Amino acid sequence: MSNIKYILGHFDDPDVMMHGIDNLQKNNISIYDVFTPFPIHGIEKKLGIKRSRLPIAAFCFGITGTITAFVMIYYMLVIDWPMNIGGKPAFAFPDFIPVMFELTVLFCAFGMVFTFFYVNHLFPGRAPRVMDLRASDDRFVIAIDAKDNADHSKVDSILKEAGAVEIKHNERKYLSYDEE
């Protein structure tokens, strides 16, 4: 068995690449992932990619912010140091709302950004995972798991037929920056 882990088909046109995806799927060849320099409408549906769970994370961060703000102000203004502000009771809930709102937005925004970076390996200390550098430049790349699809020549011929301009057989999943 060969050491080839992934087969990358390079295309220079998004429509040709979409057609290539159709051809691969028709031949029951599973696609590992597709990398494009810009978003392509409808590609998630075609590849059957599940919706991002980022909104759920955002909701959790947001609600954490709301609770943090409430607890913080309640401790400050009601328990620790009650003050007479405009003759209102110490626990004047409407006054809390702007701060609760602000911390909700703050927690939500930072939480989402950091979650997104972490999941995508863009966090400081994590090595970015890139399968092909030109996918962020001028090439549309279809990655196929070579272990799942044993018939490499068939994959190659389908890609070539669909209009791939370059086909790579990679022995490593992610490229190493030392080699480039």
Partner 1 sequence: MAHFDLSQKYEFSANAKRWSLIMIVVGVIAVAFGLFTGHAERTFANLLLNSYYLTGVCAAGLFFVAIQSVANAGWATSLIRIPMAFGSVLPYAAVILIVIVVGGLFTHNLYHHWADPELINPASPKYDKLIAGKSGFLNVPFFLIRLVAFLGLWVLFMRALRKYSLNEDQVGGMLNFNKSIKTSAIFLIVFAFSSALFAFDVIMSLEAHWFSTMFAWYNFAAMWVSGLATITLTLIMLREKGYFSWVNDSHLHDLGKFIFAFSIFWTYVWFAQFLLIYYANLPEEVVYFEKRWAPEYWPFFLLNIIVNFVAPILILMTRDAKRNFQIMKYICMVILLGHWLDYYMMIMPGTVGTERGFGIIELGTFIGFIGIFAYLMLNSLSKAPLVPKNHPYLEESLHHDI
Stretch that binds partner 1, among 23-31, 68-76, 85-93, 157-165 (CB under 8 A): 85-93
Q: Is the dihedral of CA 9, 14, 19, 21 positive or negative?
A: positive
Q: What angle do CA 126, 140, 20 make, to 5 degrees?
A: 125
DSSP label at residue 79: I
d(CA 41, CA 160): 24
Name the β-bridge partners of 167: 9
Shortest spacing between CB 94 and partner 1, in angstroms: 5
Shortest spacing between CB 92 and partner 1, in angstroms: 8
d(CA 54, CA 120): 12
Stretch that binds partner 1, among 81-89, 105-113, 127-135, 172-180 (CB under 8 A): 81-89
Q: Is 87 in the site for partner 1 (CB under 8 A)?
A: yes
- φ, ψ of residue 67 to 5 degrees: the values are -70, -40
Shortest spacing between CB 74 and partner 1, in angstroms: 18
DSSP label at residue 148: T
d(CA 140, CA 118): 25
Member of 39, 48, 94, 125 binding partner 1 (CB under 8 A): 94
d(CA 104, CA 64): 7
Total binding residues toward partner 1, as defined by CB under 8 A: 12
Query: Within positions 22 to 61, which residues make up the interface with partner 1, using CB under 8 A?
Result: 41-42, 51, 55, 59
Q: Is 89 in the site for partner 1 (CB under 8 A)?
A: no
Q: Is 98 in the site for partner 1 (CB under 8 A)?
A: yes
Virtual CA dihedral for 81, 87, 90, 92, nearest 10 degrees?
A: -140
Stretch that binds partner 1, among 63-71, 89-97, 154-162, 166-174 (CB under 8 A): 89-97
User: Cβ closer to partner 1: 9 or 62?
Assistant: 62
State the residues that interact with partner 1 by CB under 8 A. Answer: 41-42, 51, 55, 59, 86-88, 94-95, 97-98
